Amino acid sequence: MFNLKENSIRRKTAELIKTLSKRQIPVKPVRRVAILNNPHSNLSFENLKYVQKSLNLSSSQFDIFTFKEKNDHYNELRGIVADKDVFSMFGKIKAPEILEFLDRSYDLLLDFTGMTNLYEKYLSLSIKASFRVGYFNEEELYDLILDIPKGDIKSFADETARYLKILGLLKNEEFN
């Protein structure tokens, strides 16, 4: 069956991958973090606090975007929540709050989704982030790919913080 919405999103995703591959990563400290999440990612309030502590950042420096399927039951964290219905028949995002989220610039994207569908991939690519971290082994999407079991948020946070410090993108705690 021909699906106009998904074909449009596939085309836009391919364009975003090309744009992402041409960018340069600025070396500047992480101040603003976007988190892409879904109900299967294991991101609880407790795990979110752990991520914030690992990166030595306050909760006000994080924005959370959760993509879910219509039937998913999810105890949402603060932030934007969306499903496939936010996309028009032609693959355009209809919700102003999502467009506003995607219009912001972030120093870091933490993608906890594991990319289970085309919509998550498109949204991940649409987030304007200087440095991108994820689990899924798609080299064109991330600057840092962690070989950690999906849902192990604490190990994800610890490894992300370790590499960001090595790269000079996160201040060492003793210098704060």
The string of pLDDT tens digits covering residues 96-144 is: 999 999 999 999 999 998 877 889 999 999 999 999 999 876 777 899 9
Enter the pTM of the model: 0.88
- Compute the distance between CA of residue 159 and CA of residue 102 in angstroms, rounded to an integer: 26
Specify the pLDDT at position 173.
52
Q: Which two tokens stand for residue 124?
A: 């991940």
Task: Answer whether residue 82 is part of any domain.
Answer: yes
Query: Under 8 Å CB-to-CB from 83, ≥6 apart: which residues?
Result: 67, 68, 69, 70
Q: Which residue carries 């594991």 as its tokens?
A: 114
Task: Answer whether residue 175 is part of any domain.
Answer: no
Task: Answer whether residue 176 is part of any domain.
Answer: no
- Beta pairing class for 128-134 and 144-145: parallel
Write phi, then psi, for 105 (nearest 5 degrees). Answer: -105, 140
Name the domain count of the chain.
1
Rg, the chain, Cα only: 16
Domain that holds residue 70: 4-22+30-169
Task: Answer whether residue 70 is part of any domain.
Answer: yes
Q: Identify the CATH number of the domain in which residue 16 sits.
A: 3.40.50
